[in-house]
Structure 1
Amino acid sequence: MIVLKNFYYTENHLWLRKIGIYDFCIGITDFAQKEIGEIHLIEFNEKQGVIRKGESWGSVYGINKTFQLIAPCDCKIIEVNQNITIKPSHINTDPYNCWFFILSANISAGEFLTYKEYTQIIK
């Protein structure tokens, strides 16, 4: 199981990579993509703008299960990666480079799980 040390994680198996002062790329973890199985379809909610913590912003459909994308914090979606919907199975081969959204949020790193905390959850 691949878990990268310089990323933040959520209990819902999302990763966040900081790319600016308040901006993050977000995607699903290696653990999540293995649980889902081969990914066939990704649907994003068309709602743009501000998303509240706990709201669904889309779904990932795979052979084994469907995975709801749940917002880890109050945030503003800056960009949606539409390329990932063209060939969603790329997530299965490279989950940490296949991001779903770029979001902006005024949050602290302490709101998310560290590498060590996340590896304890998935054991």
Structure 2
Amino acid sequence: MSELRNDFLYSEEHEWVQTVGEDTVRIGITEFAQHQLGDIVFVELPDLEASVKAEEGIGTIESVKTVSDLFSPVNGTIVAINEALQDSPELVNSSPYEEGWMIEIRIDGDVTAALSSLLKAEEYRKHIE
């Protein structure tokens, strides 16, 4: 069974969302997703200050098996990028919820409304079963 964090939210596209500030969230891919992809060899992320829209592709994750899109779970602006992934993309495999985080987004508009469409841990668990 894949590890899930009860204090995180999840998208159906297998991104996790952690609130890190009043209007800011940190995004990565779930342990389930990184297991499905296999060994990750490259991560392409959006530029700082880029404007992103919920459910739109914002980057790619390349593994030995395939290339997969990274989707934004919310509307907002990129305010941080995990630069460590440029030299060590394998952090997504070894530490998907800590060192393998990908980006931080400052949410546009109502934060509660933006997060309301995401899944709680138990809902995501049912989604991946």
Superposition TM-score tier, normalisation by shorter sequence: over 0.9
User: What's 1:107 paired with?
Assistant: 111
Q: Which residue pairs with 2:31 in the alignment?
A: 30
Unpaired stretches in structure 1, ≥5 consecutive residues: none
Q: AA paired with 1:19?
A: V
Gaps of 5+ in 2: none
CA positional deviation for 1:47: 7.0
Question: What corresponds to 1:84 in structure 2?
Answer: 85
Give me the whole-angstrom Cα distance separating, in 2, the residues matched to 1:52 and 1:115. Answer: 23
Matched residue type, 1:111: S
Q: How does 1:1-123 map to 2 (within 5 A)?
A: 1-46=2-47, 48-97=49-98, 98-105=100-107, 106-108=110-112, 109-123=115-129
C-alpha distance in 1 between matches for 2:72 and 2:90: 22
1:45-64 Cα offsets, whole Å, 9 max, x none, are 34743111232111000022
Q: 1 CA distance for matches of 2:47 and 2:19?
A: 24
**Amino-acid identity (%):** 25
Q: Secondary structure at the match of 1:111?
A: coil
The amino acid across from 2:11 in the alignment is T
Q: Aligned pair count?
A: 123
Which deviations, in whole Å up to 9, do the C-alpha atoms of 1:33-87 show, x marking residues without a partner?
0011000011123474311123211100002221101111211111111111211
The superposition leaves residues 14-39 of structure 1 with CA deviations (integer Å, 9 ceiling, x where unpaired) of: 00110111111110000000011000
CA distance in 2, matches of 1:71, 1:107: 14
Cα RMSD of the aligned pairs, angstroms, is 1.4
Distance (Å, rounded) in 1 between the aligned partners of 2:3 and 2:24: 23
Q: What secondary structure does 2:111 align onto?
A: coil
CA distance in 1, matches of 2:48, 2:70: 13
Moved over 4 A (4+): none
Instruction: Name the aligned partner's letter for residue 82 of structure 1.
Output: E
* TM-score, reference length from structure 2: 0.89
Judge conservation of contact 1:35–1:65 (CA < 8 Å) in 2: no
